[in-house]
Amino acid sequence: MTASKQANVAIIITSTRLVRVGPAIANIVKDILEKEDRNETRLSLVDLADFKLPIYDESVVPYQVPSQATYANEHSRRWSAEISKYDAYILVIPEYNYGVAGSTKNAIDYLRNEWIGKPAVIVSYGMTGGKNASEQVKVSLEGTELRVSPTRPQLIFAKNGETPDIFAAMHKGELGEKSREVWTTENKKDIVKAFEELKEAIKNPPATKEK
């Protein structure tokens, strides 16, 4: 990519639950980064829920596509085409039951060649910031040959009085104002730092392997 070209980065909402705060958190991340970016990057929200991916149901292995095989299902082709558009990714991931959400892992595992060599940032959220999910997703992304930024912001739900905001998030899909305030102030530095690492990685792609 030339220095003058605007990088195309997807902010992927990986929670697909009917009651969720993933979209609100992704919008917070997008707002923070757009204010810091100086128009160097085109940021696009991608909602995994729109693709309605079942548990992987193709008869081919993802690494075979497109050189040896093609996807048979429309949902697979749509997801592949969407991910192929972007130079890099920011995955906004929840943590469920102290681990990665099934929807997040499934979306990663659907593809292979579409991901290879591209930079990625992981932004996790949860009662403890989604630290377990963040580590698990890092391993999966690196296994698909994505280049994960060293800085991985972890957003911990704040308390609103004596009640943690996470309960409103889980049961109502509402993001508490206290959490929003903390994330846009105290966590902003890490979010911006991870983004700067991402942009640097975009400018410095890995060397092409000789065939």
pLDDT on residue 211: 41
Q: What are phi and psi of 166, to 5 degrees?
A: -65, -30
Identify the structural domains of the chain with CATH numbers, from first to last. 7-203 (3.40.50.360)
145-203 pLDDT, tens per residue?
999 999 999 999 998 766 789 999 999 999 999 999 999 999 999 999 999 999 999 99
Q: What is the pLDDT of residue 2?
A: 47
Cβ-in-10-Å burial (0-12, 13-18, 19+) of 120 comes to buried
- What is the rounded distance in angstroms from the CA atom of residue 9 to the CA atom of residue 88? 5
The predicted structure's pLDDT at residue 39: 85
Nearest to 68 by CA among 113, 29, 100: 113
Confidence (pLDDT) at 38: 81
Residue 89 token pair:
């990714």
Predicted confidence band of residue 9 (pLDDT cuts 50, 70, 90): very high
To the nearest 10°, report the CA torsion of 59, 65, 66, 72. 30
Tell me the per-residue pLDDT of 15-73, one tens digit each, with 9 for 90 and over. Answer: 999 999 999 999 999 999 999 988 889 999 999 999 999 999 999 999 999 999 999 99
Q: Are 33 and 39 in contact (CB under 8 A)?
A: no
